[in-house]
Chain A
Amino acid sequence: MSGGFNLSPYFFNFNRDQSRLTMKIEFILNGEKVAIEAPEDAMLLWTLRERLNLTGTKYSCGISVCGACTVHLDGNAIRSCTTPVSAIVGREVTTIEGLSKNNEHPLQLAFQEEQVPQCGYCQSGQIMQAASLLKENPTPTDEQIIQYMDGNLCRCGTYTRILKAIKKVVREGQS
């Protein structure tokens, strides 16, 4: 399993669509400065996935109602499916691939220990959402966790385990 951040093999050849109206976008991606060309109306989600080969961030609804595409923008959880690339210029984007070096963020470990993922498709978004919460508030109550996580859907029904895993991190952070 490859953890951490790898440059796409197509990193310097991402601009498959030369003919379209594109803009140059510079931003910080998982701690590294990157510069890309993308259509100005391109969404961050597809740019991450199809131009930068960071496929851990998932497409599911495209309208900000499911949370599968959650990444951090300047440390806060956002939905990348409705965030145009023009909005990230000069800012810091963190994806699941950049959350930790070796799959070792306390939440990643807790999700493994509690055996949370089933199909796993929503889990990058769940973890990124939870990571943003714990950064904001390391000691949330159950109600605060649930409220914060409520925009992230999971069709496999792993909610009870997600909650357990987050509470475990909160508990261990306190001791």
Chain B
Amino acid sequence: MENSTKGISRRKFLATAGGATIMIGGFYLFPGCRQNVGKALDESEPIEKEVTVWVRLMSDGQVIIYTPAAEMGQGSMTSVPLILAEEMDADWSKVKILSSPVEAEIYGVGWYPGGAKNMTTAGSRTIRSYYQLMREAGGQIRRALLQHAAEKWEVDIQELTTQPGMVVHAASDRKMTFGEIADFGNFEKLPDMSEVVLKDRKDFRLIGKVMPRYDIPAKTDGSAIYGMDVQLPGMMYGFINRSPVHGAKPELTNEEEIMNMEGVKSIVKLDHGIGVVASSVEAGLKAKGKMQIKWSKALASSHNSDEDLSAYTPNGAQEENQEGNVESALKTSDKIHEAILTNKYVYHAQMEPLNAVVSVAPDKQSAELWIGSQAPDGAKAVVAETLGIDQKNVKANQLFLGGGFGRRSLSGYAAECAALAKSVDGPVKLIWTREDDVSYGAFRPQVKHFLKAGVDRNGRITAWEHTAVGPGGGLSSGGAGISHYDIPNIRFNRKDIDHGIRTKHWRAVGHGPNKYAVETFIDQLARNYNKDPFLYRREMMQGNERARKVLERAAEMSNWDPNPKDGKAMGMAFADRDAFSCGVAQISLDRASGVIRVHQYWCALDSGVVVQPDNAVAQVEGSVIMGISCALKEQIDFQGGQVAQSNYNQYPLLRMSEAPETIEVDFIDSDEAPDGLGEAGLPAVGGAIASAFAALTGKYLYDMPFTPERVLKVLKT
């Protein structure tokens, strides 16, 4: 496949994308989709016109919209095209969505003004990043369709309106479908953006309405194609034994034995492991299991996570941020309160272990990649790099992702697959076993939080200091900010510790640990001064109306009651991961076993305009469940630098019997630009549960996760 992408700027494709010669092909996420895009094969086939890089119109009225974002469960495969369809006034029932080619210069966005264009789907950025762009892209196409109809009918364009899928001339009671326009239209030249008028929110037909997700039917009959599902003729299977301790180098001591095993095609020596390519899954797994590897020593060998965590001190931490003057405000405060909280490493545990398929051409000068990736452009780049060829000779095909949560924006698995595929003739499917996925995971860091608050006589916080200690650098900085509270003097310090291990963004990143620590401490301060934790927070939110309304809404939804009733208690926490969110958990506690049960959960959010309301609710439900799982159960331990857990039996996730009976979600109605909401509900969960626990027992959960053993220990204090 040819990709001609040179010199195409966003302006240019909006203005003249018809002129760009971009071949669009790609591997389709759904089997049975038309793959011969281009000219109609015969007269009975509808004509297909490329309007812009985003849209193709068919003479039978179908509209093909390309989506640039990874679909990993968050639903943006539907919502990004839906924004475009809204402004275009497309008939949604005739929209077909395809994954866009992996061409960051065309389909990517920069994360800040002047930032490099990329196709990374992460950080709840997709709708934020594409909202205005998709509106303009759709509005421009609508304008082009209006122009075509005006010319055809020889009427003033001002007399025309659109209805879904058609242009209407009310004065003469005439209608022209988009399909008819596709038939005769020439989209070489598109209207200038200055002519494009975007809709008022009140005129939206799709945005803000409950629309079914496009990908769901294919996910109920097994037809959705994930990276793991790719099947190619002659495909072989790759497996790798990776360093049990990060950074250790391998030496295979029984190479001949492995090479002589049935079905083994090649052995590939990597810096971080030994790979094998075999003719079947079974042969590959057998060879993987038989390898004898000597590993070199590495920095991480000395990491024992529990011991190291307890030894962390705040001494020598660097100030990252300060407002006001914390030092002097602490001195003048009536009382200083302190708390130390910890959280453990956690694992992404996406249901689909990492995998990729790479086919290298016999001359080794070009390759094709099939992958479910949060950064397909990055994956494409590392495949090219591994093979020593130019990126333009790599075709990348994006597939469905069986979960991402931050793990799939690392591209190492694509590079591994390329290295394996290079060693043989024919495509190779690299499969990570679950054990590989856990033991070679990249984890949200463990953190020890040292919190200090200077408080006046009424319990009001006048000075705040938070020092976070642990590995992972900036991964632990996000979410420490508390500017939504009216606290005049705030300081955040970080002390980074290098244990030589892999750390990574995990859904909501630093907000998870930091909001747990911050909100639990604030809750404790409220209780120290006999204040209702809700009212205490509200008093501190007089300067931020948007935040305060979210807090109030959560209290209203949950019928907030700070007092335990019938063995159950409510707890509250606030978070600001993109959207403001406030969670209320209602829990009970089995004092004999130490098991905490979350019965009900309420979450209020303000994330601006909500594009797909039902999906937005689903995202919050999911992030609450993931948050409960993380708060109650999940932890990765290192012993001698090795990950102690290896599969779901040792890394238990929340199950259906442990999920809340109800999760109620409500979004504040808003005209503000959309903000991220796929992670927003998660960070408050730990704090809300700890707060409810305090209401129930008068004791605090300072260490997350709140496993039964830990809870029992806390109850004994």
12 further contact pairs, Cβ within 8 A, besides A46-B281, A117-B216, A157-B626: A2-B30, A55-B222, A103-B221, A112-B212, A115-B212, A119-B72, A119-B73, A121-B350, A121-B402, A147-B657, A154-B351, A158-B622
CB distance from A60 to the nearest CB of B (A): 5
Partner of B656, one of A3, A49, A149: A149
Measured in the bound complex, the distance between the Cα atoms of B626 and A114 in whole Å is 20
Contact B648 A65 (CB under 8 A): yes
Interface status of A36 (Cβ within 8 A of chain B): no
Confirm or deny: B283 has a beta carbon within 8 angstroms of a beta carbon on chain A: yes
**Are A157's CB and B281's CB within 8 A?**
no
| Chain B residues whose CB sits within 8 angstroms of the CB of A80 once the complex forms | none
- Minimum CB–CB distance for A135 against chain B, Å: 17
Residue of A nearest to B438 (CB): A61
A60 with B352: CB separation less than 8 A:
yes
In the complex, how many angstroms separate the beta carbon of A96 from the nearest chain B beta carbon?
4
How near does chain B come to A169, taking the closest CB pair, in angstroms?
13
- Cβ contact of A155, chosen from B30, B351, B435, B614, cutoff 8 A: B351
Distance of B72 from chain A, by nearest CB (Å): 5
**Which of the four size classes fits the interface of chain B?**
35 or more
In this complex, the interface size class of chain A, counting residues with CB under 8 Å from chain B, is: 35 or more
What are 8 A-B pairs with beta-carbon distances under 8 A?
A1-B217, A19-B262, A39-B282, A55-B222, A55-B226, A119-B400, A120-B73, A163-B656
Chain A min CB distance to B289 (Å): 12
Residues of chain B within 8 A of A17, CB atoms compared: 262-263, 279-280, 282-283
**In the complex, the 7 A-B pairs of residues with the closest C-beta atoms, listed nearest first:** A56-B222, A157-B625, A121-B402, A119-B73, A120-B219, A118-B73, A157-B622
Asked if B403 and A156 make an inter-chain contact with CB atoms under 8 angstroms apart, the answer reads yes
Partner of B352, one of A43, A119, A159: A119
- Binary contact track B208-249/A, C-beta < 8 Å → 1, others 0: 000011011111111111101101011001000000000000
- Name the contact of B353 in the complex, choosing from A56, A60, A96, A158 (C-beta under 8 A): A60
Q: Could you say which residues of chain A place their CB within 8 Å of the CB of B30?
A: 1-2
Flag if A153 contacts B351 (CB, 8 Å): yes
One digit per residue, 1 when the CB lies within 8 angstroms of any chain A CB and 0 when it does not, for chain B 642-653 equals 000001110001
Look across to chain B and name the residue whose beta carbon is closest to the beta carbon of A145.
B656
B351 touches A56 (CB 8 A): no
B653 touches which of A9, A58, A155, A163 (Cβ 8 Å): A155
A122 at interface, CB cutoff 8 A: yes
By the criterion CB–CB under 8 Å, are A3 and B226 in contact? Answer: no
Q: Which residues of A contact B547 (CB under 8 A)?
A: none
Please tell me if the beta carbons of A20 and B402 are within 8 angstroms of each other in the complex: no
Q: Which residues of A contact B621 (CB under 8 A)?
A: 157-158, 160-161
Bound Cα distance A116, B404 (Å): 18
> A141 to nearest B CB, angstroms?
13
Complex Cα gap A2–B30 (Å)? 8
Q: Is the interface of A mostly helix, strand, loop or mixed?
A: loop
* Interface presence of B663 (CB below 8 A): yes
Q: Which residues of A contact B340 (CB under 8 A)?
A: none
Residues of chain A with a CB closer than 8 A to B668's CB:
none
* B-chain residues with CB within 8 Å of residue A111 when the two chains form the complex: 216, 220
A157 touches B657 (CB 8 A): no
Question: Smallest CB–CB gap between A18 and chain B, Å?
Answer: 9
B372–chain A nearest beta-carbon distance, Å: 9
Contacts of B662 in A (CB 8 A): 160
Docked Cα-Cα span, A56 to B350, in Å, equals 17
In angstroms, Cα B355 to Cα A121, docked, is 14
Contact between A16 and B280, CB atoms less than 8 A apart: yes
Q: Is B387 an interface residue (CB 8 A)?
A: no
Per-residue CB proximity of B279-312 to A under 8 Å, as 1/0?
Answer: 1111100000000000000000000000000000
In the bound complex, how far is the Cα of B223 from the Cα of A103, in angstroms? Answer: 10
Contact indicator per residue, chain B 158-191, by CB within 8 Å of chain A (1) or not (0): 0000000000000000000000000000000000
B6 within 8 A of A: no
A66 to B400, CA, bound (A): 20
B520 on the A face (CB < 8 A)? no
Are A115 and B618 in contact, with the CB atoms below 8 A?
yes
Closest to A118 in B: B73
Interface pair A55/B229, CB less than 8 Å apart: yes
Of B217, B234, B434, B663, the residue contacting A60 (CB under 8 A) is B434
